[in-house]
Amino acid sequence: MDGSSLVKEVHYELFQIFSGIDTQVKENLQRVLAAFRNHRVGSHHFAGVTGYGHDDLGRQVLDRVFAEVMGAEAAAVRVQFVSGTHAIACALYGVLRPGDELLAVAGAPYDTLEEVIGIRGNNQGSLTEFGISYRQLSLTELGTIDWDTLKQAIRPETRMVLIQRSCGYSWRPSLAIAEIEKIVRLVKQQNPDTVCFVDNCYGEFTDSCEPSAVGADLIAGSLIKNPGGTIVTAGGYVAGRADLVEAATCRLTAPGIGSSGGATFDQNRLLFQGLFLAPQMVGEAMKGNHLTAGVFDRLGYPVNPLPFAPRRDVIQAIQLGSPEKLIAFCRAIQTHSPIGSYLDPIPAGMPGYESALVMAGGTFIDGSTSEFSADGPLREPYVVFCQGGTHWTHVAIALEAAIEAVGSRGAAT
């Protein structure tokens, strides 16, 4: 069966799944519209200010809208956040102090956090250098949370637990909202003052609510992932308890300035519009994930999540088994991207990552993983991580080329 026929066949089988995603998109969009209505968003909120960014009405209203959407007490949406990692780092540095312990409860953190914590690199400015200790709970053999260990894991010095919602560059299942709620409950039973912090990257709008709504004290993420709706040009957010959000923004700007500073550079309209588009764009990405899983499962490749399994983020992993196939897959995706289709992805190092990466990212926003992209580290077992997608039909076109590039499992490239 050729690539086009296989994609069509799998798409036909996914009809009910796609219909369910459309229902969830509608529910999430209703939540966004309600927040816009409750805070009386108007075109006058699109204007920005210059310089220090004081008294930016649009930014202030956007923070309140975003907080309501996230089920949080407060939020700070800022273009000054360079990335999701930067937003997460500000949250960590804002809350943690010398002598505190950070406990990761979902296994090893994402690559770019290793140098922030101090478990890799030269420790320049890391948490370790500031006297903050780190511990992580290993996952079970099935790659799931070790619930029994977690029940007794909190120590007197454990100031914060880090909950990474997405799988990152690993094969473990991403966390469901119900699992995050259970983690929070178990942590708070041991110490109500321990801060439950969720790395929410890739997970926004994949469920009917966000971690803040089920007890997480603080969450953070990137605007060039899900909540930017594919059109926001840069930035990130933190949301949760008001005091913790303010602590994080004091690390972004300076103590005494916190959330009151930061010009928006006439980006307010895009920030509002991106949030409005986000549920739909996430829905399309989830459809693309299902299609990708179904197609490559048929070809004999291990996939995570499995076909028809619930989506907990916008990442679909495929274990290709060789560096040649990983590179060939990314080349096929790049060739069928709207931007830079003429470029040839080659493995290279990237700041913050341990291994060389090969990346296909022909996106309108540089580095955006809310648009369709694919990448993977050149290390065994050579897994490619497909992310995002503005519409599932684009994913389908790119998949047809990827099928031709890598063939079935065991076939040479």
What tens digit of pLDDT does each residue of 354-410 get? Answer: 778 899 989 999 989 899 999 999 999 999 999 999 999 999 999 999 999 999 886
Q: Per DSSP, what are the bridge partners of residue 238?
A: 76, 220
Instruction: With beta carbons less than 8 A apart as the criterion, state whether 74 and 239 touch.
Output: yes
Say if residue 411's pLDDT is above 70: no
Give the pLDDT of residue 367: 87
**Residue 182, number of CB atoms within 10 A of its CB:** 17
The Cα 185–Cα 200 span in angstroms is: 18
pLDDT band for position 2 (cuts 50, 70, 90): confident
Question: Tell me: the pLDDT tens digits for 42-65?
Answer: 999 999 888 999 989 999 999 999
In three-state form (DSSP H/G/I as H, E/B as E, the rest C), the secondary structure along 207-247 is CCCCHHHHCCCEEEEECCCHHHCCCCCCCEEEEECHHHHHH
Asked if 3-26+279-406 and 32-275 have one fold, the answer is: no
- Crossing angle of helices 15-38/268-298, nearest 10°? 170
Question: Tell me: the pLDDT tens digits for 59-105?
Answer: 999 999 999 999 999 999 999 999 999 999 999 999 999 999 999 99
The Cα 271–Cα 258 span in angstroms is: 20
Higher pLDDT, 261 or 352: 261
φ/ψ of residue 315, rounded to 5 = -115, 135
CATH classification for the domain delimited by 3-26+279-406, as one of 3.90.1150.60, 3.40.50.2300, 3.30.43.10, 3.30.465.10: 3.90.1150.60
Instruction: With beta carbons less than 8 A apart as the criterion, state whether 80 and 251 touch.
Output: no
Tell me which CATH code domain 32-275 carries: 3.40.640.10
Strand-strand pairing, 74-78 and 236-240: antiparallel
Strand-strand pairing, 236-240 and 357-360: unpaired
60 token code pair: 């202030």
Strand-strand pairing, 383-387 and 315-319: antiparallel
Say if residue 412's pLDDT is above 80: no
Question: Tell me: the pLDDT tens digits for 224-234?
Answer: 999 999 999 99
Domain boundaries, the chain: 3-26+279-406, 32-275
In this prediction, what percent of the chain has a pLDDT beyond 70? 98
The Cα 393–Cα 260 span in angstroms is: 42
Question: Tell me: the pLDDT tens digits for 259-314?
Answer: 999 999 999 999 999 999 999 999 999 999 999 999 999 999 999 999 999 999 99
Say if residue 1's pLDDT is above 80: no
Instruction: With beta carbons less than 8 A apart as the criterion, state whether 92 and 251 touch.
Output: no
335 token code pair: 């060739």
How much is the mean pLDDT over the chain?
94
Give this prediction's pTM: 0.94
